[in-house]
Amino acid sequence: MAATPRGISRSLLPSAKTRAAIAKRMAAVSGEMTTAAVSEMESRHAWFSELDAKHRSWITLVAQAGIDGFVQWFANPEPERPSTADVFGSAPRELARRISLYQTVELVRTTIEVAENQIDELMPRGDRAVLQAAMMQYSREVAFTAAEIYARAAELRGAWDARLEALVADAVIRGETDETVLSRASALGWRSSANVVVVVGPEPAEEPTVAIESIRHECAKAGLDMLGAVQGDRLVVVLGGGEIAAPDVALRMVERFADTFGAGPIVIGPPVDHLAEATRSTRAALSGYRAAAAWPDAPRPVRADDLLPERALSGDGHARRALARDIYAPLAAAGSGLLETLIVFLDHGASVEATARSLFVHANTVRYRLKRISEVTGHSPTDARDAYVLRLALTLGRLLPTDGRQTS
pLDDT of residue 325: 93
What is the rounded average pLDDT of the residues 239-253? Answer: 87
Does one domain contain both 34 and 146? Answer: yes
pLDDT of residue 148: 65
pLDDT above 50 (res 276): yes
Does one domain contain both 336 and 293? Answer: no
pLDDT of residue 166: 60
Euclidean distance between CA atoms 222 and 201, whole angstroms: 20
pLDDT above 70 (res 82): no
Euclidean distance between CA atoms 105 and 282, whole angstroms: 43
- The percentage of the chain sitting over the pLDDT mark of 90, rounded to a whole number, equals 34
pLDDT of residue 301: 94
Does one domain contain both 148 and 37? Answer: yes
pLDDT of residue 406: 40
Give the lowest-confidence range in 69-83, 106-120, 306-320.
69-83
Does one domain contain both 331 and 360? Answer: yes
pLDDT above 50 (res 9): no
pLDDT above 60 (res 171): yes
Question: Do 261 and 221 meet the contact criterion of CB atoms below 8 Å apart?
Answer: no
pLDDT of residue 4: 46
Does one domain contain both 184 and 215? Answer: yes
Is 312 part of a structural domain of the chain? no
Does one domain contain both 348 and 388? Answer: yes
Alpha helix segments (H runs only) across 77-207: 85-89, 94-98, 101-122, 125-173, 179-187
pLDDT of residue 87: 60
Is 346 part of a structural domain of the chain? yes
pLDDT of residue 111: 81
pLDDT of residue 163: 61
pLDDT above 60 (res 365): yes
pLDDT of residue 395: 93
Strand partners, 391: none
**Last residue of one domain, picked from the residues 254, 283, 304:** 304
pLDDT of residue 178: 58
Distance of CA 210 to the CA centre of its chain: 12
Taking phi first (over 0 means left), then psi (-120 to 50 degrees means alpha), and beta for anything else, what does residue 406 get? beta
Report in angstroms the alpha-carbon separations of 320 from 199, 226, 327: 21, 30, 11
pLDDT above 70 (res 155): no
Question: Do 235 and 214 meet the contact criterion of CB atoms below 8 Å apart?
Answer: no
Does one domain contain both 53 and 77? Answer: yes
CATH number at residue 399: 1.10.10.2840
pLDDT of residue 408: 35
pLDDT of residue 22: 84
Most confident stretch, 111-115, 217-221, 259-263: 259-263
Is 6 part of a structural domain of the chain? no
pLDDT of residue 182: 61
Does one domain contain both 123 and 253? Answer: no
What is the rounded average pLDDT of the residues 334-339? Answer: 90
Does one domain contain both 358 and 234? Answer: no
**Last residue of one domain, picked from the residues 251, 278, 304:** 304
Does one domain contain both 372 and 397? Answer: yes
| Residues 6 or more apart in contact with residue 102 via CB below 8 angstroms | none
Euclidean distance between CA atoms 147 and 155, whole angstroms: 12
Is 85 part of a structural domain of the chain? yes
**Last residue of one domain, picked from the residues 247, 278, 304:** 304
In the chain, how many domains are there?
A: 3
Is 11 part of a structural domain of the chain? no
Euclidean distance between CA atoms 142 and 85, whole angstroms: 8
Domain that holds residue 233: 179-304
| Residues 6 or more apart in contact with residue 245 via CB below 8 angstroms | 194, 195, 197, 271
Is 172 part of a structural domain of the chain? no
Confidence of residue 5 (pLDDT cuts 50, 70, 90): very low
Confidence of residue 75 (pLDDT cuts 50, 70, 90): confident
CB count in 10 Å sphere of residue 408 = 6
Does one domain contain both 328 and 225? Answer: no
Whole-number mean pLDDT of the chain? 81
Does one domain contain both 272 and 208? Answer: yes
Strand order in the sheet with 196-202: 225-231, 234-240, 196-202, 267-268, 302-303
3-class DSSP state of 95: helix
pLDDT digits (tens, 9 = 90+) for 337-354: 999 999 999 999 999 999
CATH number at residue 260: 3.30.70.2730
Residue with the larger pLDDT of the pair 328 and 61: 328
| pTM score | 0.59
Question: Do 231 and 300 meet the contact criterion of CB atoms below 8 Å apart?
Answer: no
Is 72 part of a structural domain of the chain? yes
Report in angstroms the alpha-carbon separations of 249 from 242, 255, 362, 381, 398: 9, 10, 41, 26, 34
What is the rounded average pLDDT of the residues 35-45? Answer: 86
Confidence of residue 118 (pLDDT cuts 50, 70, 90): confident
Cis omega before residue 92 (within 30°)? no
Is 149 part of a structural domain of the chain? yes
Euclidean distance between CA atoms 169 and 225, whole angstroms: 13
pLDDT of residue 10: 46
| Residues 6 or more apart in contact with residue 100 via CB below 8 angstroms | none
Confidence of residue 1 (pLDDT cuts 50, 70, 90): very low
What is the rounded average pLDDT of the residues 371-395? Answer: 94
Long-range contacts of 245-248 (CB under 8 A, 24+ apart): 245/194, 245/195, 245/197, 245/271
| Pairing label, strands 225-231, 234-240 | antiparallel
